[in-house]
């Protein structure tokens, strides 16, 4: 793209596509006989979700949630506000939260608590990326695409100030 802000490539397009298909196959096996409801966290996870869902060979549904985390642009505080709630009632459903990236884990911890209170039959997490060095809370997603180093990542849905979501790979943003 010739953009000076784009640094080292962290995950190549082929590796993304291959791993997403593997995750879809794992979910297909683990949820055999069930009809999972994928809860996609807007906006970053939309890109991952659309590839993942096409790799799941089960009857499944999708719903969307938008949250904003109070804090600075690159640090979340753990105080989360729901901007858009689910349309679906999830009581009794097998719910899989689809996230783009788990950084501190604070956003996900809030979502897990919030959705658990609605009494789904089961609740798991599928995160494309995690940054193990940054994790501040005790949680481990059942499905993880890639563990990445402690860098600010963009591409394949991940943004910096709403840009770079359309990159077909995941790259580190070059520090200014
Ligand atoms: P957490 O609450 O610290 O885990 O942050 C989670 C949210 O912050 C993610 O869902 C992303 O929207 C955003 N985020 C965290 N790290 C990155 C990154 O490296 N690139 C882009 N967005 C990020
Ligand atoms: Mg996000």
Whether 94 sits among the annotated catalytic residues: the reply is no
| pLDDT over 60 at 17, yes or no | yes
Element (H, E) at 97: strand 94-102
Q: For the purposes of burial, counting CB atoms within 10 Å of the CB of 162, is it exposed (0-12), middle (13-18) or buried (19 or more)?
A: exposed
76 in contact with ligand 1, CB cutoff 6 A: yes
Query: In angstroms, what is the span from residue 92 Cα to ligand 2's centroid?
Result: 25
Q: Which domains does the chain possess?
A: 33-150 (3.40.50.2020)
43 in contact with ligand 1, CB cutoff 6 A: no
Model pTM score: 0.95
Split at pLDDT 50, 70, 90, the class of 164 is very high
- Dihedral, CA of residue 76, residue 78, residue 82 and residue 83, to nearest 10: -10
Mean pLDDT of the 111-124 span: 98
**Residues facing 71 on adjacent strands:** 76
Using one digit for the tens of pLDDT, what is the confidence trace for 57-105? 999 999 999 998 776 666 667 788 999 999 999 999 999 999 999 999 9
Q: Where are the alpha helices (DSSP H) in the chain?
A: 13-30, 45-54, 106-116
Split at pLDDT 50, 70, 90, the class of 15 is very high
| pLDDT over 60 at 1, yes or no | no
Split at pLDDT 50, 70, 90, the class of 175 is confident
Confidence (pLDDT) at 44 = 96
Confidence (pLDDT) at 69 = 79
> Is the sign of the CA dihedral 137, 142, 148, 152 positive or negative?
negative
């Amino acid at each position: 793209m010739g953009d000076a802000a784009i640094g080292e490539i962290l995950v190549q397009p082929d590796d993304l596509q291959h791993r997403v298909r593997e995750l879809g196959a794992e979910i297909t096996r683990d949820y055999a006989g069930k009809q999972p409801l994928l809860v996609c966290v807007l906006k970053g996870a939309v890109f991952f979700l659309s590839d993942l869902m096409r790799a799941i060979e089960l009857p499944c549904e999708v719903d969307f949630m938008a949250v904003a985390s109070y804090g600075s642009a690159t640090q979340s505080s753990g105080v989360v506000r729901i901007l858009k709630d689910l349309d679906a009632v999830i009581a009794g459903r097998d719910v899989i939260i689809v996230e783009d990236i788990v950084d501190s884990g604070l956003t996900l911890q809030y979502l897990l608590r919030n959705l658990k209170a609605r009494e789904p039959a089961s609740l798991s997490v599928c995160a494309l990326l995690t940054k193990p060095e940054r994790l501040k809370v005790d949680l481990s997603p059942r499905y993880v695409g890639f563990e990445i180093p402690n860098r600010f990542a963009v591409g394949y849905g991940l943004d910096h100030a709403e840009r770079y979501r359309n990159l077909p790979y995941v790259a580190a943003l070059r520090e200014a």
